[in-house]
Structure 1
Amino acid sequence: MAIFSFLTGYIIPFILVLSLLVFVHEMGHYLVGRWCGIRSTAFSVGFGPELVGFTDKHGTRWKLSAIPLGGYVKFYGDDDVASMPDASGLEGLSESEKAQTLAGAKLWKRAATVAAGPIANFILAIAIFAILFSVYGKVIADPVVAEVQPNSAAEAAGVLPGDRLVALDGTRIRTFDDVRRYVSIRPETPITVTVERDGRDMDLPMVPKRSEVTDQFGNKVELGLIGIVTNEQRGNFRVETFSPIQAVSEGVKETGHIITGTFRYIGNLVTGRMKADQLGGPVRVAQASGQMATLGFAAVVQLAAVLSVSIGLLNLMPVPVLDGGHLVFYAIEAIRGRPLGAGAQEIAFRIGLAMVLSLMVFATFNDITNLIG
């Protein structure tokens, strides 16, 4: 019974969510590649042995594979699923046949095909947020202070109950979510909070404290806090719904917030303001999928949007093997006027593969440590 609950509560939601995101990512590569005249020989959701599949009239093998931790589109002329060109195989092709390979296509076609995967993930996230905001609406809490916590950054700065937060470091804000997003990724970083009090604005400098917070599922996460309680936390908020056009605009904003927050988090890792144990791997994603499933369909879909952005960003990392590494190669080719040699590319791919595997091992180690802890 426990195993059945684990499968239905964690593994199945994880596989469904991840498979959808992988499918959309790879479909971006496939569709743009086909539009550019580049043939594909395989489209796989998952790695490893094929579980089920079929071959279409264009010669593409569509398949579901055994290891649900990614996927790939293998193009004509590729040596492997990471789109490393088969140099010896390309030599025996005619010019028209080479033009149908990824390696032999024009530079802009290669770049467009590679970039299409991450872009598809961003578009999916925007679409998901837009649908959620249209159907379910968006919870809005005005950034009015209901209570100031003792010994907090806000108390030290002189924030008072009734103050309305109107700007952070000069940037105007509209909701408490704007405050939460901005502050949470800036632990131990000086900021200036502008509050409106008695009809006039006041600039209050403060430094968010790095704090460990436990969410409703018992997960612990480190973030920056200034120590204010809002009306939202006391159940005083409203739900706004949007027209389709407004919802798309809000979806773009939400996706942009995730992207900027991710880059800020990476910067905090480099500077030591955040611990590397916050990095999660497949185990933590599975755990989050199961936890969101208990909150309902909308929560799972929202998690899918967040993960879609993360997958897009991860693949844009300038690491060989990933899409971003290919784009770096193409940028070098555009500057040099010719591609890097096959030997240099192979070495770079090996290094990139080692980096990706190391990151996966480290993230999985964090997951297991987090579970044990």
Structure 2
Amino acid sequence: MSVLHTLVWFLVAIGILVVVHEFGHYLAARLAGVKVLRFSVGFGKPLLSWRVGPDQTEWTLSPLPLGGYVKMLDEREGEVPAAEAHRSFNRATVWRRIGIVAAGPLANFLLAIVFYWALFMHGLPAMKPLIGEPPLNTPAAAAGLAAGDEIRRVNGIDTPTFQDVRLNLLRAGVAGEPLQIELVDGRSVQLAPPAMRDENLEQDTLRPLGIVRYDPVIEPVIGSLAADGAALRAGFKPGDRLLAVDGKAVADWQGWVKLIRAHPAKPLRIEFERQGQPAVITITPDAVSEAGQQVGKIGAGPQIDEAVFAGLMTEVSYGPLEALWQGTAKTWEMSVFTLEMMGRMVLGQVSWKNLSGPLTIADYAGQSAALGWISFVGFLALVSVSLGVLNLLPVPLLDGGHLMYYVAEVLTGRPVSERTMEIGGRIGMTLLLLLMSFALFNDLQRLLGG
């Protein structure tokens, strides 16, 4: 996937989310009778600008895409003509100011609901909640779970897809809750929550439990070759059936993947069959850094029997009203989980290594777009929820910080002093810079670590 592809889809994603967020502020301000001077997508000196409407609001596109803003008429920021003073933001009632500020995050939540509603209406293709053979000496193996078991519920919550299983196990694992797993065949088992090394929450929740996704046996036949891969350089062709390495037979594609990964930069003598004729090639897997470790890769993909995988797929879809309810429930569920994760980071119960920044978001934007519109819309919904939650945090400079000031004004009957807001602004700027530094550091670690 090219850098240009990633950049374009990142800008598309950020553009959609920022426009919706700021349009929430803009629309609420207009409804409250407050004059809007500028609607900016991005920060910095405008690249493009035009004026629209009776108030000649300036709409601008600026070069720094990580956000945007709506500038309203405000007597604290400059001289205001007497005839328009009543339309100043600072003269609006405290409840109207609360509505204007809250409208941005609310717009992000509404966008997520609309996206999830559309996805549930269309139908979401996903893997069935089938599990593979649990590794020995894991809680899943001790509980008698076996390959092909289908999970119906986790802690009373329905899990129509394997992704739902993963999410609910992750939530329960982070909270340290016991895990009650109900199967389609009527069995019910309870697993103890694993002790997590929280640098990688998903792996450290599922792996110690022994819950793995069911994968059918894949024949060891090469279906595709990467243009710059070791397999193509060595002379392999699509259709070649892999048989053995250094005289030891390997039965399936999964076995070959494990073997290749375990031998980075080490020559392997591979016996294979091409059009019914035996042959031998010596290949040296490329050494690739992945999660801080060197693994071997040869740039080959398997020949897939589509009929086998079709039986492992399901589609989650609902009628219009049920889809709206499910979309709202999904947005609420992800909002609560995001807030819970943020709280556990602050308390030191979850590692800050799980925090992602703009580089990771850009990477996910590109990857999800490459998988199709369903994946990309799902990505947008998730990030929109995160953006809404983040902006409601009681941190000065964020929407939540302004709401904190206005709530204090409601309780005390007088506005927060300019000095207090000035100090709060400095504290908020420091916190946001620290947050961005952590996020960028994590992004760079992920990129450098493969």
TM-score by length of 1: 0.84
**Is 1:112 paired with 2:118?**
no
Alpha-carbon deviation of 1:260?
2.2
Q: Structure 1 60/341 Cα, relative in aligned 2: closer, same or farther at 3 Å?
A: same
| Equivalent of residue 307 in structure 1, options 383, 394, 403 | 383
Alignment of 1:1-373 (within 5 A): 5-7=2-4, 9-56=5-52, 57-77=54-74, 85-86=76-77, 89=78, 94=82, 97-135=84-122, 137-139=123-125, 143=129, 145=131, 147-160=133-146, 165=151, 167-169=153-155, 171-175=156-160, 176-187=162-173, 189-195=176-182, 199=186, 202=188, 204-208=190-194, 210=196, 222-225=203-206, 226-229=209-212, 235=309, 236-373=312-449
Which stretch has the larger CA shift, 65-74 or 354-363?
354-363
Amino acid paired to 1:173: D
Q: Structure 1: where are the runs of 5+ without partners?
A: 79-84, 215-219
- SS of 1:326's partner is helix
- SS of 2:74's partner is coil
Q: Distance in 1 between matches of 2:8 and 2:391?
A: 24
Does the CA contact (< 8 Å) of 1:162 and 1:197 recur in 2? no
Amino acid paired to 2:71: K
Q: Distance in 2 between matches of 1:370 and 1:245?
A: 41
- SS of 1:284's partner is helix
Q: Structure 1 288/251 Cα, relative in aligned 2: closer, same or farther at 3 Å?
A: same
Alpha-carbon deviation of 1:123?
0.7
Q: Distance in 2 between matches of 1:105 and 1:193?
A: 52
- SS of 1:69's partner is strand
Q: Distance in 2 between matches of 1:47 and 1:10?
A: 21
Does the CA contact (< 8 Å) of 1:41 and 1:75 recur in 2? yes
Alpha-carbon deviation of 1:311?
0.9
Q: Distance in 1 between matches of 2:371 and 2:24?
A: 30
Q: Structure 1 213/349 Cα, relative in aligned 2: closer, same or farther at 3 Å?
A: closer
- SS of 2:325's partner is helix
Q: Quote the sequence identity (%).
A: 36
Which stretch has the larger CA shift, 25-34 or 357-366?
357-366
Q: Structure 1 33/345 Cα, relative in aligned 2: closer, same or farther at 3 Å?
A: same
Alpha-carbon deviation of 1:156?
4.0
Q: Structure 1 259/239 Cα, relative in aligned 2: closer, same or farther at 3 Å?
A: same
Q: Structure 1 292/143 Cα, relative in aligned 2: closer, same or farther at 3 Å?
A: closer
Does the CA contact (< 8 Å) of 2:39 and 2:69 recur in 1? yes
Which stretch has the larger CA shift, 205-214 or 332-341?
205-214
Q: Distance in 2 between matches of 1:239 and 1:197?
A: 17
Q: Distance in 2 between matches of 1:300 and 1:143?
A: 22
Deviations 1:17-59 (A, max 9, x none): 1011000000000001100101111100000010001112313
- SS of 1:339's partner is coil
Q: Give the equivalent residue in structure 1 for 2:266.
A: none
Q: Distance in 2 between matches of 1:299 and 1:192?
A: 29
Q: Give the equivalent residue in structure 2 for 1:82.
A: none
Which stretch has the larger CA shift, 272-281 or 286-295?
272-281
Q: Structure 1 183/326 Cα, relative in aligned 2: closer, same or farther at 3 Å?
A: same
Q: Distance in 1 between matches of 2:372 and 2:19?
A: 23
Q: Structure 1 158/124 Cα, relative in aligned 2: closer, same or farther at 3 Å?
A: same
TM-score by length of 2: 0.71
Report the aligned-residue RMSD.
2.9
Q: Structure 2: where are the runs of 5+ without partners?
A: 217-307
Does the CA contact (< 8 Å) of 1:158 and 1:204 recur in 2? no
Which stretch has the larger CA shift, 334-343 or 252-261?
252-261
- SS of 1:63's partner is strand
Q: Structure 1 297/205 Cα, relative in aligned 2: closer, same or farther at 3 Å?
A: closer
